[in-house]
Every structure is written in C-alpha cells, then in structure tokens.
Structure 1
Amino acid sequence: MNGQETDRTTVTTDHPTDAADTTSTDESGSHHVRTAGVVIGYDGSPESRLALSWAAATARRRGSRLTLLHSVNLSFIPGFPAFDTSQVEPELQDAAKRLVDDGAQRAGDSLDASRIQTQYWLGSPAAQIVEASNDADLVVMGSRGRGRLTGGLLGSTSYAVAAHAHCPVVVVRPAHELTQPADTEATEVASVNDGLPEVVRPDAGHPVVVGFDDSEPAMRAVQAAADIAMEEGAELRIAHVVQVPSIDSWAYEETAHAGTVHAHSLREHADDALSAAVRLAKAKHPDLQVSTEVLYGDPGRAIADLGSTAGLVVVGSRGRGGFKGLLLGSVSHNIIHNAECPVMIVR
C-alpha cells in the first residue's frame, strides 16, 4: 500500500438483541432509523474507560445497544517508498481486536453481552466515528484533563467528533488527571471501572443544566435536556447568560440610557427567553421540575461553573453534522474544557 490509509470495518461482536431501534427526523423532514444506540470511541486509556463506564450505564438505562469503536490511525506509520504497510496490518488488526474485546468485557460488567457490539478499523478515528454517528442516538467520547490553567486543549479526536457528529455527543472528562493502573493478571476479569472514579450522572441531587440563548440550536438543546432530565428523574435547570461588556462600554450604555434602563432591558430579555425555554421543556414533559437562572459574564465560563453541582451540562452548537460543517463554537469548547461533569453537545 506504500503507506496509504485504508478504512476497513470488522464487527467482532454482534449478537441478536431485543434493544429497540429509534427513529429520528432530519431537517428535510425525512425519517432515519438509528440502529447503533450508544456509540463510544474507545482506545483503552483511563479516560476512555471512564467514558465507557458512563456509556454502558446510559445504554442499560435506555435499553439500547452499545457499540465500541476503535480505529488505528495509519498516518502515524512512516510511509517510506519501499515500506508496504500491508505487512503490519494483520498485527494492527489483531491488536485492535484485542483492545475492543477487552472493552466489551469491561462493559459486560453493567450491560448484557447481547447488547454489546464492537467495530475496529485501520483509518482516521475521527472520520470513522463521525460516519458511525449517522446510525447512533448518542456518541460518547473521553477526553484528557481539564482546568482553565493547567488542562490541555480538548483532544483532537474528541474535538472533531464533537464538532461534526450527526447526533448528540457527550464528552466525559475526568475532574483530575488519571493514571494508567498496573496491568491486571490474565486470570482477572476486567472491570469497567477498574479502580477509576465514578462519573457523576443526572439524578435527584444532580440537575441537568442547559444554556439557552434564543437560538435554534439552544432550543434543540433544551428539548434534549428535558428528555434526559425526565428520564433520569432529575431537575432541569435552564440558564441564560447576559454577556457583560467592558467596563467602559457598560458605563457608556448606562449613562446613555439613563442609569439602569439598559440593565433592565437586558434582564427583561433574559426573563422572556427563559420563559420561552420553560414552555418548550414542559410542552412534552408537563410534570418536569424546571428552574431558571440569569447569570452575567462570559457564557462559557458561567455555564461551565454550573457543572460543579450538575449531573450533565447540555449546550447547543451551531455547526452542521459532517466535516463540511462549522467548527465547534468557542462557548461550547469552553464548557467542555472546564465543566466538572459530562457535557452534551446538541446541534
């Protein structure tokens, strides 16, 4: 192959299952049956196993399939003219199969094996997961580190998937840096948690937080957040952030608009937006417990801070699915990078 990438798919576990398929409607109004359920990009890292734990629990609660995906990126292999990568492909495929089989065994801790399937490729990880998202209800990705000062940027694969997937994406990020545990003995049964910390989920004590800004993506985010809150028995907390301008411009606005007129106008707009969001959430779930909050400052930072007590933060993204879409917005990226709980991106 002279170093060229190939995209090959191998299904290593695909047992008959009674897990229900779901139907979605795209922007053109056409219907699409989603058969993969919850899809997770899995690479065996501690962060990936943490995400696997969250994904398996979600699949169990939803009664859906769990599909583990792994891709070996051949671009990391030197492409010398005389080097034929087909010589190493069997070894790479064997290693990939062992990795996803290990992940499936871990997921079997909390999910029936008949609902678990695995796939692996030689090719671009992000492109393959985005393609798989066409048939998924939800994609789950792990990502390394967090923090405004010490955390790294969102990993390239997780970023690309969050920005371009065709379904909602949840990024599960550890509150603290994780370390790789020592290898377990071959006789030991792998555990989905394997000594890793538990990941918070929405429940009666951990609300689903959603940021709302009047946009269509935000409306879809509210609907998705309401569905999850109702499903998990959690409160839905809708927040609208008023972006405060610089001190000088704020002072000018206040003077130009007779003191607090401008501030009152911003608050009235925020209250109207939140009232519309509550109506939207309760249209489908009239019994859902909903609270609202108006915050001031940077939207990404303000919403991310709410993640300290939340089970899930949901944010809308203006990008379209597929790699022709827009990049992930700065607010969404800020929230993913800094929130202390899993973050869902909805477009």
Structure 2
Amino acid sequence: MTAAGIRRVVAGVSPFDPRPEVVAWAAAEAEARHAALELVSACPARQAGDVVGSAVVRLAAARRSVARGHPGVEVRTRTVIGPAEHVLRAAADGADLLVVGADDHSPFVEAITGSVPGGLLTTSPCPMVVVPKDAAPAGPAAPVLVGVDTAETSRAALNYAFATAARTGRDLHVVLCWTAPRERAERVVERAREHRALAVSLAGYGERYPDVAAAELVVDDDPVTELTRRARRAALLVLGSRGRGRLASMAFGSVSRTLIRSSRCPVAVIRPDLVPATGQLDPA
C-alpha cells in the first residue's frame, strides 16, 4: 500500500492516440485489486499549449468510461508536462501496477526514436503491463501464460503468474523453451535436464495454489516465436526481465522487448528487483 494506505493502479493515457483498451484493462485490474485508478497524461513541453487541452478532453472521456463500466472504482486524473517515460515512471512510484499501451513502431523506428514501454522495461518502479492496440477482453477459457528460464528472473514471474491465475480462476500454462542438440542421445539427456529444471522452478507452487491447474510445457523452439504463438489464445503473458539497460537490450536482443511489441494479449513484465507497494509480487 501507499503511505496513505491506498492501493493504486496507474495507467498512461496518450493525448494523441485514444487507446480505450488500456483504460479498460487498467480499470478492471483496479477493481479486482480494490485499488484506486490514476489516469496520467504526459504532454511534451514543446507542444504543451496545443496538447494540454486534448489531454484534458481525453482524460474526461476515460473517466466517464470507467464510471460506466466499473462504477465502484475511484478514479483520479492528472495532466503532466514532460516526456511520457519520465512522467509515467514518477507517477508509478509507490503504485501496485503501471499499465501502458504497446507501441506499434517497427524495431528500426524504435531504435531511432525510442519507445515508452521499451524504456520503462528497465526503469519502472513497479510491475508493468503493456496492452496491445485494439486488445479485446479474453474469453473465460483463455489461460494465463508465463515464460520461464532457469535464471533468477523466473521466480518473480512465477509468483505473479500463479497469483493472477488463482485470483482470476484461469488455468496457467508454464512454458520453458530450449534448443535441442542435433545428436539424438544429447537431445534425450538435455530434454530430461530441462524437465528437471522446470520441476525445480515449480516446486512448492502446487501447495501454495492448490486450485490452479498448471500445465508444464517444455518446448524445443525460440521463446519469441513460441510465446507469440501461444499469446494469441492467452488472457495474459507474464515475463521475467533481467533489467538490462536500453543499449544492451537493443544490442543483444530482448525477449521482453520483442514480445511487448508483438504479443496479441497484454504482457506483464516482472523484474526480480521490484518489490511493489503491496510488499509482494502476488497481485492479490
């Protein structure tokens, strides 16, 4: 909780591009968490005179939309002058969750101009969910999907994914991708090693979340390809992040950065260094 004892979900509202799916997703999450919803619009300083009026209009429309769909959610709105990444990072300090819209830039354009969700991957002070453009509400059978590896990043992502599945009553699909060796004997050994690694990662979760139906999937494929495909039928994709800096991420490639641009479902990115305002990574 915040210092005032109030839980908060913060959502970025663009003054240029109406993204009702971002507001709708954030409002539903705020209602589920019994949290207040803070809608924040960032206006570039050089265009402030022209943009602030548009931002105020869009925030008012977003507030009305939340009131219609989620009348019990307390809504606050703010218009702030400054770069969107900086404004949203400051607004999310002490929040339970930051919700932003996905960029639809190409990787080339993003490398030149930057990306607000891409930049916040490594700097957001709380867990972040990136909502794709025109995202539709998921059906009741859509699972929560979590991509894991054998690194420390998996623990935070698994905590979040199991808690989300428990809270929403959805199945959970846990996916570990690996690259099979060419030799058959090596493949057999490596496949068994990967299954053991996944079992170790999941130890204890069955006892903590006995009502969650969790499927363990060890897949010989590129993680971006596999998770993009599975995300088409998922309610939420949960990823861990090593928190690389932007330059390192762009140079060496980042599964999280690619998937927040390509996923058809919302993507939650959970860094292991984050302890949100609730004091836990479980979105209870």
Aligned to 1:192: none
Which segments of 5 or more consecutive residues in structure 2 lack a partner in the other structure? 272-284
* 1:25-44, Cα deviation, whole Å (9 max, x unpaired): xxxxxxx8874521111015
With the length of structure 2 as denominator, give the TM-score of the two structures: 0.82
Alignment of 1:56 with 2:27, yes or no, is yes
Letter in structure 2 aligned against 1:168: P
Alignment of 1:96 with 2:96, yes or no, is no
Aligned to 2:77: 118
- Against the structure 1 CA distance between its residues 218 and 61, is the aligned structure 2 distance closer, same or farther, given a 3 Å change threshold? same
With the length of structure 1 as denominator, give the TM-score of the two structures: 0.68
Higher relative contact order (CA 8 A, sep 6+): 2
Aligned to 2:214: 290
1:131 offset after TM fit, Å?
1.8
* 1:52-99, Cα deviation, whole Å (9 max, x unpaired): 11111111222211110111112x45xxxxxxxxxx65x654443333
State the alpha-carbon separation in 2 of the partners of residues 199 and 34 from structure 1.
Answer: 32
- Kindly, what percent of the aligned residue pairs are identical? 24
Letter in structure 1 aligned against 2:116: T
Greater displacement, 223-232 / 323-332: 323-332
Which segments of 5 or more consecutive residues in structure 1 lack a partner in the other structure? 1-21, 24-31, 78-87, 175-196, 245-249, 255-259
- Against the structure 1 CA distance between its residues 61 and 131, is the aligned structure 2 distance closer, same or farther, given a 3 Å change threshold? same
* 1:269-313, Cα deviation, whole Å (9 max, x unpaired): 211122123324324212211111111121122112110211111
1:270–1:294: 8 Å Cα contact kept in structure 2? yes
State the alpha-carbon separation in 1 of the partners of residues 210 and 247 from structure 2.
Answer: 34
Letter in structure 2 aligned against 1:282: G
Alignment of 1:341 with 2:278, yes or no, is no
1:111 offset after TM fit, Å?
2.1
1:144–1:152: 8 Å Cα contact kept in structure 2? no
Alignment of 1:307 with 2:231, yes or no, is yes
Aligned to 2:128: 169
Alignment of 1:142 with 2:112, yes or no, is no
Greater share of helix residues, 1 or 2? 2
Alignment of 1:217 with 2:162, yes or no, is no
Aligned to 2:64: 105
Aligned length: 267
1:96–1:120: 8 Å Cα contact kept in structure 2? yes
State the alpha-carbon separation in 1 of the partners of residues 80 and 55 from structure 2.
Answer: 8
Structure 1 consecutive aligned stretches of length 4 or more whose deviation exceeds 6 Å: 323-326
State the alpha-carbon separation in 1 of the partners of residues 212 and 247 from structure 2.
Answer: 33
- Against the structure 1 CA distance between its residues 330 and 210, is the aligned structure 2 distance closer, same or farther, given a 3 Å change threshold? same
Greater displacement, 160-169 / 39-48: 39-48
SS at match of 1:164: coil
Letter in structure 2 aligned against 1:133: A
Letter in structure 2 aligned against 1:212: V
* 1:174-214, Cα deviation, whole Å (9 max, x unpaired): 3xxxxxxxxxxxxxxxxxxxxxx66233x641110101112
